[in-house]
């Protein structure tokens, strides 16, 4: 399940990286959220799930759409996204500090034009 705090964290990262597919790690899965999930789920062969919660990402009080895949499938889904014409993939990994508290940070940006060659994010 996606909590409101995770949605707020996603929204903050989405503002920093407004273009492209944001792969947002939650535990052992990467999630695609909102309109991006609706756009890509079918083409990627992923189940689109919706939950009823306030959705700050899309500024509505209705449903939040998301889809996801195991972290072990990252390379496979990056390849699929590139083949499907996605021009930018932002990978946001979950990190733990010494106290075990999770935070997330973008650690890789991949552009389709470079056929999968990664770039460091402008942080």
pLDDT at 58 over 60: no
Among 98, 9, 80, 91, smallest CA distance to 40 is for: 80
List pLDDT tens digits, range 7-38: 888 889 999 999 999 999 998 999 999 899 99
Full residue range of the structural domain in which residue 43 is found: 4-119
Indicate which CATH number applies to the domain containing 29: 3.40.1170.10
Instruction: List, for residues 107-116, the tens digit of each pLDDT value.
Output: 999 986 554 4
Residue 7: how many other CB atoms lie within 10 Å: 21
- Best CA proximity match to 23, nearest among 40, 4, 3, 8: 40
Provide the pLDDT confidence category of residue 6 given band limits of 50, 70 and 90: confident
Strand-pair category, 88-96 with 21-26: parallel
Q: Please give the tally of structural domains in the chain.
A: 1
pLDDT of residue 25: 94
- The model's confidence at residue 96, banded by pLDDT at 50, 70 and 90, is confident
Tally the C-alpha atoms within 13 A of residue 41's C-alpha that lie toward its C-beta: 17
């Amino acid at each position: 399940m996606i909590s409101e705090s995770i949605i707020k964290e996603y929204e903050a990262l989405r503002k920093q990286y407004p273009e492209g597919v944001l792969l947002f790690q939650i535990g052992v899965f990467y999630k695609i959220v909102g309109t991006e999930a609706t756009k890509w789920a079918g083409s990627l062969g992923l189940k689109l799930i919706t939950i009823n919660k306030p959705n700050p990402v899309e500024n509505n009080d209705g449903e939040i759409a998301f889809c996801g895949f195991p972290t072990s499938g990252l390379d496979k889904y990056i390849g699929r996204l590139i083949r499907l014409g996605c021009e930018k993939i932002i990978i946001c990994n979950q990190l733990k500090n010494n106290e075990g508290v999770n935070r997330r940070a973008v650690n890789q940006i991949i552009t389709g034009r470079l056929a999968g060659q990664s770039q460091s994010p402008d942080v």
